[in-house]
Amino acid sequence: MHKLIKIIGTVAVINIVARLLGFLREVAIGYKYGTSTMADAIAVAYTIPNFIYLVVGGALTTAFISVYHSSDSDKNYFVRKAFTSVLVTVLTIVVLIILLTDPILHVFFSELNPDNNRIVRNLFLWMMPSTIFLVLSTWMSGLLNLNGLFTLSSVAILIYNLLFVLIGFTFTSVFGPLSYGIGAFVAAVVMGGFLYVGLRKSQPYSFKPLFTKSPDVIRMWRIALPILLGGASLQFYFIIHRIVAAGLEPGVISSVNYASKLTGFPQAIMMTAVTTVIYPLLSKKEGEGDDKTIRSLYRKGMVYLVSLLVPVTVIAYIFAEPLVTLVFGYGNFTQESIDQTVPIFKVFALSMFFLASNTYITRFYYAKGNSVIPVLFSIINVFVVNLIVIYSLLGSFGASAIAYGTVFSSASNFVMLFIYAKMKWRL
């Protein structure tokens, strides 16, 4: 266990730097554009590409890891088949979405004015192709983690965030908001190349496409589809944020984005480090039938989350204004922008523990081969509890109602997941 904690600590340190760089991108956008319509446009343009990257990439990678340990077929053969399946899937999705760009943007963001719509469209067409490399990078990172090469996959995220912020900030005076679209694409290509080279040097896998049928790949998809639906429902939090905020006054989209990113920073560091290391181990222990170790990992992880995130939540809530000012209060992020963002951030802070715990507990469901129940709970909470809370409070609390929806629905989801796991597996 000591060795496991040491590995988690190493991955956490790298992820802290990587996440800081990613967060610096939001700070740079705030510095240049504040909570203006330009900042809104950047946040909106990244919503759908990010949605696909996290949902499709996350689901296929999680399912791949689950099947890898239990597969009886040649590992190199399975890797080739899985890589081919992931590549064809993401290429098909991206091409279809690019062809349907205008109707998609109209359906999801119909409230945008013509100027914003033009900016969003141009940004979107730059950012969308980056999704191909992001999904493939997620899958390659999973393969590296299976082989114990956790550091390499974490460094790749660091490189991606560094390039994204450097290109976006450096060239914004030349290309305007479009620089962040260019940055997203270039950074994703470089990260994908870095991981590919690292894999080829460290492991003798072949990535030559292989289109023959494979029972293991079919099983991978059977596992992935429920996970994909569950991940999609969770990522719909952010799409709902954008859709509701688009109907409010200008600048609300970016204020909600800044507040949610600042809230997500500590939980992302914790969950990325823990799940990167623990999930491959969980899958292995489940395959061995080692329920004792699984229960031990579960309980220790929950203790870590409570001891780390509850104090962070209290600090974030009490010191919300100085924190927002310290992080974003530069350049065009004026006092007005601060006043608009602080109330939203305070409410979002209350969801930190619940969102992190939901991600953590769900990994144990996946390891147990149960991906249906988390999907059901997510759909109920994101699309029912969340929307009821938002539209019930919108008239009284304005943009903060969006954050309240996340708090109440994530707390409800946590209770459901926790109780079911306790009853079903005595976790």
Report the C-alpha gap between 305 and 270 in whole angstroms: 8
pLDDT of residue 410: 95
Q: How high is the pLDDT of residue 203?
A: 76
Burial status of residue 396 (CB atoms within 10 A of its CB: 0-12, 13-18, 19 or more): exposed
Instruction: Using alpha carbons, select from 72, 65, 75 the residue that is nearest to residue 283.
Output: 65
- Please give the single-letter amino acid code of residue 220: M
Q: What is the pLDDT of residue 37?
A: 79
User: What are the tens digits of pLDDT across the range 34-66?
Assistant: 988 788 888 888 888 888 888 888 889 888 887
CA 30, distance to chain mean position in Å, is 21
For 286-295, 356-365, 412-421, which range has the lowest pLDDT when averaged over its residues?
A: 286-295
pLDDT exceeds cutoff 90 at 396: yes
Count of CB atoms situated within 10 Å of the CB of 389? 20
Q: What are phi and psi of 196, to 5 degrees?
A: -60, -50
Q: How far is CA 58 from CA 182, 206, 382, in A?
A: 24, 22, 18
Give the model's pLDDT for residue 6. Answer: 56
- Whose tokens are 């890891």? That residue is 65
pLDDT at 333: 94
At residue 95, does pLDDT exceed 80? yes
Range in 78-82, 117-121, 175-179, 315-319 the model is least confident about: 117-121
pLDDT of residue 273 exceeding 80: no
Q: Tell me the pTM.
A: 0.77
Q: What is the pLDDT of residues 215-249, one digit of tens each?
A: 888 889 988 888 787 777 777 888 898 889 878 88
pLDDT at 8 over 60: no
Share of the chain above pLDDT 70, in %: 91
Question: What pLDDT sits at residue 193?
Answer: 94
pLDDT at 251 over 70: yes
Q: 5 pLDDT exceeds 60? A: no
CA distance readout (Å), 117 to 107, 125, 403: 12, 12, 25
Residue 390 confidence (pLDDT) above 70: yes
> Residue 250 — pLDDT band, cuts 50, 70, 90?
confident
> 427 or 321, which is more confident?
321
- Per-residue model confidence as pLDDT tens digits over 320-373: 999 999 999 999 999 999 999 999 999 999 999 999 889 888 888 877 778 789
Structure token digits, residue 281: 């181990």
**Three-state DSSP state, 240:** helix
